[in-house]
């Protein structure tokens, strides 16, 4: 998904109560860190409205950037100001045109408050609000960045987040620390990732395989088949009554992702070749499991086929009878196989 972050103002915009604090500089840094945190997730692209710290686009161009690049989410980042130095707390403004964004606004506001409050002790959520004005007899957002961002239906979420008050000593001190910006960015990225179901890139491959229970199966029979115990499976799957498993139920079989010589592996059900772009193998190949005869880097040299690490499949094991047969002697990508059980010790 695409996300547009809009660090408010220009470089020396809005000095804080502490010398050297400028809202326009701090939120620019926050945007950079938040971009990095968000782009740790797969298929996430973050565009920042200010091309560098000195850049200070018009309000219309800030919201307009989200429209131009087709972002789903637009967030304008700020710290707040008031003439009363006691004023403090976090405010979230959402576009009046996007009532369905209320929930995400609240989650973001609460996450920022939870993070800040740990150190400031005073920060609270002033609210998730809308502020409107009449434009040509129509109700519109008072804030120009929000108003310009919702000109496209693609921009489904549009917020301003005020990260405390830079006119309040405690909150200004907080926002002045780079560690704080990192904490806030992590908290905001986490909320966004959870809300939109973003996946962390470089996710570890699943460390279990799924077994579908068939009529007549018992947990201990399944456990035997995979070289484990019914107790281990019951615990791993959170099964309260091991005598009660149902046809079609999925039992997760934990496996270690590391493949060693002597491990028993199986070619994944959706594969018809040993490795990417390899020649298709005959149908009988999948009637067997295989004992790993060699791992990819057994001599300190990675063995690869078309970029994937491979292992050498050795002796066949008939899946139905469990009987061992001769060696198949074929290299297979570790991405194309799954480990059924570890080598016998």
* Cα dihedral across residues 64, 28, 127, 72: positive or negative: positive
- Pick between residue 159 and residue 274 the one whose CB is nearest to Zn ion: 159
Task: Report the candidate in 134, 23, 159 with the shortest Cα–Cα distance to residue 82.
Answer: 23
- Least separation in angstroms between CB 254 and Zn ion: 51
Question: Minimum Å distance from CB 9 to Zn ion?
Answer: 6
The nearer residue to Zn ion, 174 or 288, going by C-beta atoms, is 174
- Number of neighbours of residue 333 by Cβ within 10 angstroms: 23
Smallest CA-to-CA distance from 225 within 156, 108, 317 is with 317
CB of 76 to Zn ion, least distance (A): 8
For residues 35 and 163, which CB has a smaller minimum distance to Zn ion in the complex?
163
Nearer to Zn ion, 8 or 64 (CB): 8
In the complex, least distance from residue 78 CB atom to Zn ion, rounded to whole angstroms? 3
Smallest distance from Zn ion to CB 74, Å:
15
Nearer to Zn ion, 74 or 230 (CB): 74
The helix/strand/coil state of 245 is: coil
Nearest one of 319, 322, 301, 318 to 310, comparing CA atoms: 301
Q: How far is the CB of 59 from Zn ion (least distance, A)?
A: 11
- The residues binding Zn ion (CB under 5 A) are 8, 78
Say which DSSP state 189 is in: H
Q: How far apart are CA 49 and CA 32, in angstroms?
A: 11
Nearer CB in complex with Zn ion: 116/317: 116
Handedness of CA 265, 266, 270, 272 (dihedral sign): positive
Spatial separation of the C-alpha atoms in residues 304 and 3, rounded to whole Å? 38
The helix/strand/coil state of 174 is: helix
48 and 31 Cβ atoms separated by less than 8 Å: yes
Closest distance between Zn ion and the C-beta of residue 23, in Å? 5
Instruction: Say which DSSP state 41 is in.
Output: B
Q: Decide whether 71 or 79 has the Cβ nearer to Zn ion.
A: 79
**C-beta of 10: minimal distance to Zn ion in Å?**
11
Token pair 């149902």 in the structure block, residue: 246
Residue nearer to Zn ion on the CB measure, 8 or 105? 8
CA distance 339 to 332: 12
d(CA 121, CA 199) in angstroms, rounded, equals 33
Q: How many CA atoms lie within 13 A of 174 on its CB side?
A: 26
What is the closest distance, in whole angstroms, from the C-beta atom of residue 266 to Zn ion in the complex?
Answer: 58
Q: What are the φ and ψ backbone dihedral angles of 331, each rounded to 5 degrees?
A: -80, 140
* Complex with Zn ion: residue 8 or 63, whichever CB lies closer: 8
Report the residue number whose CB is nearest to Zn ion.
78
SS3 37: helix
């Amino acid at each position: 998904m695409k996300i547009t972050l809009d660090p408010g103002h220009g470089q020396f915009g809005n000095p804080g109560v502490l010398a050297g604090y400028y809202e326009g500089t701090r939120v620019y840094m926050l945007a950079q860190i938040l971009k990095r945190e968000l782009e740790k997730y797969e298929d996430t692209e973050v565009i920042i409205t200010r091309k560098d710290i000195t850049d200070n686009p018009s309000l219309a161009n800030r919201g307009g950037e989200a429209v131009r690049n087709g972002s789903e989410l637009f967030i304008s980042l700020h710290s707040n100001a008031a003439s009363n130095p006691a004023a403090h707390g976090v405010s979230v403004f959402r576009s009046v045109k996007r009532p369905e964004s209320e929930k995400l606004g609240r989650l973001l506001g609460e996450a920022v408050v939870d993070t800040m409050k740990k150190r400031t002790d005073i920060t609270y959520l002033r609210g998730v609000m809308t502020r409107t004005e009449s434009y040509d007899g129509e109700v519109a957002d008072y804030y120009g960045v929000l108003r310009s961002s919702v000109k496209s239906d693609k921009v489904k979420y549009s917020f301003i987040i005020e990260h405390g008050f830079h006119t309040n000593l405690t909150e200004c001190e907080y926002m002045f620390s780079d560690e704080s910006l990192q904490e806030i960015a992590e908290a905001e990225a986490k909320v966004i990732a959870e809300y939109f179901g973003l996946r962390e890139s470089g996710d570890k491959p699943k460390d279990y395989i799924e077994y579908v229970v068939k009529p007549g199966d018992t947990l201990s029979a399944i456990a035997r088949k995979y070289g484990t115990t019914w107790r281990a499976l019951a615990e791993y799957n959170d099964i309260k009554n091991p005598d009660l498993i149902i046809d079609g139920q999925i039992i997760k079989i934990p496996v270690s992702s590391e493949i060693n010589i002597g491990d028993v592996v199986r070619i994944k059900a959706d594969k018809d070749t040993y490795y990417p772009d390899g020649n298709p193998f005959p149908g009988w190949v999948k009637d067997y499991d295989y004992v790993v005869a060699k791992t990819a880097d057994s001599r300190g040299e990675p063995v690869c086929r078309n970029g994937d690490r491979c292992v050498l499949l050795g002796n066949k094991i008939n899946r139905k009878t469990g009987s061992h047969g001769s060696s198949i002697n074929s290299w297979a990508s570790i991405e194309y196989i799954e480990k059924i059980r570890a080598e016998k010790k």
